[in-house]
Structure 1
């Protein structure tokens, strides 16, 4: 069995609805592990994520959390496996960028990088963000093209059927970068970090996510200055409201034969 980053072979028992005898087989399961994020020596969060592309994840997380405004303020990230299980992700930010960290640092356990870590009030959750000023024309055909091709770029998703994907696409629908994770928010953070590491301006293309479109994903897109976001499942009310309020073009239920523009 070919190895796949972010997956682990496991023996499982397959059962059949037509009454055929069950059989044992080996298949890939997506890795999920606690990732303790330590920033400038301060325990900030413990996230459940797939331990792959963790340097991209660290940078994208810091940008999404608005701990830094520019990738140049990100110094390094060091991922170390913990013998008892899980990973320690030690992140170093440029010292002048550490202000928000001191106020919001706490150790917590979460299901994924939700974009709301350290938020303590409704006012902070619904804080206004700078509107997206970039204008990008993306034909519907380009979205269909990207959605149809995404599966071919998801090695982890194909192997496990359990990983979300986040793809950055050129305006014509050509997929340039993909990141995957057991969590949809984590996959988007990894993509944001990968774009920053590659020096690619998110305003020059659009993003496709294999997820329902929630408020937090729209918030991440706005913070990253992504002008167009497409998700393969439906959008929530808050996601639509936030997209409209901040100038984000939002497509949901983006499938190979239809999509919704909200």
Structure 2
């Protein structure tokens, strides 16, 4: 399996002088996802937690309804990168063929590969409203997230997605060069576990696709450290999701679903 970090040489200039040294940088490489022998997507991905990534991508993209439709998974090294070869149920595979959708992904890619604007009309079923958290829980998650990202601590070049308890304690973190990939890895891990109640924090802006992916996996509240887009707000409202943006020290903004967030008593 390829390494997740690579050492490279560099010339570093600082305060008027420079010298040669080495740096540790995050690895990204092409990862192909195939279903029952048919290639579907190629994403530029950090080669960590790839089984979680494959499951999370499959569920958040509506290819699978859950882990029960994933019958088998193999990670195969290819000359140009990696292939995640999945075997899925006949019903799920028939639905995939009906989608007529091929992705050619990049780490910053959102809706690449959509064949038509009609694909934007997908909205997950409305979410329940069983979660209630305090504003202080969001702040606690923001304060602790960075030290829970080991790959970022070394390279500085990755996004993170975290699952937090209702009190804001971080339970699980996944990292990747791509914000969508980090979220998919987290969602895949959550699909395999009895996660209980909680919310997701991501180290990026909140785009349409981030909202749809989270909603498809039953996430009631998505909090992003940066801004949301207008379409993300619209889709979060349609799905009944609480969407939080600008989650930073001492501040955050609740754009939809503010009934789930309240002041601590």
Q: Quick check: TM above 0.5?
A: yes
Q: 1:132-161 CA deviation, whole Å, 9 max, x = no partner?
A: 114210111001001110011101111111
Say which SS state the counterpart of residue 142 (structure 1) adopts: helix
Which residue among 69, 90, 98 is the counterpart of 1:95? 90
Say which SS state the counterpart of residue 141 (structure 1) adopts: helix
Q: Give 2:259's aligned residue.
A: none
Asked if structure 2 preserves the Cα contact closer than 8 Å seen for 1:43 and 1:105, the reply is no
Q: What is the total number of aligned residue pairs between the two structures?
A: 254
Asked if structure 2 preserves the Cα contact closer than 8 Å seen for 1:226 and 1:248, the reply is yes
TM-score w.r.t. length of structure 1: 0.91
Q: CA shift at 1:114, angstroms? A: 5.6
Q: Give 1:217's aligned residue.
A: 210
Q: Give 1:15's aligned residue.
A: 13
Unaligned 5+ runs, structure 1 = none
Say which SS state the counterpart of residue 249 (structure 2) adopts: coil
Q: 1:52 to 1:185 in 2, by over 3 A?
A: same
Q: 1:155-201 CA deviation, whole Å, 9 max, x = no partner?
A: 11111111000000000001111000000000000000011122325
Asked if structure 2 preserves the Cα contact closer than 8 Å seen for 1:37 and 1:89, the reply is yes
Q: Partners in 2 of 1:247 and 1:37 — Cα distance?
A: 30
TM-score w.r.t. length of structure 2: 0.90
Q: Give 2:239's aligned residue.
A: 246
Q: Partners in 1 of 2:99 and 2:4 — Cα distance?
A: 30
Q: 1:74 to 1:112 in 2, by over 3 A?
A: farther
Q: Supply the RMSD in Å over aligned alpha carbons.
A: 1.9
Higher strand fraction (1 or 2) = 2
Q: Give 1:6's aligned residue.
A: 4
Unaligned 5+ runs, structure 2 = 256-265
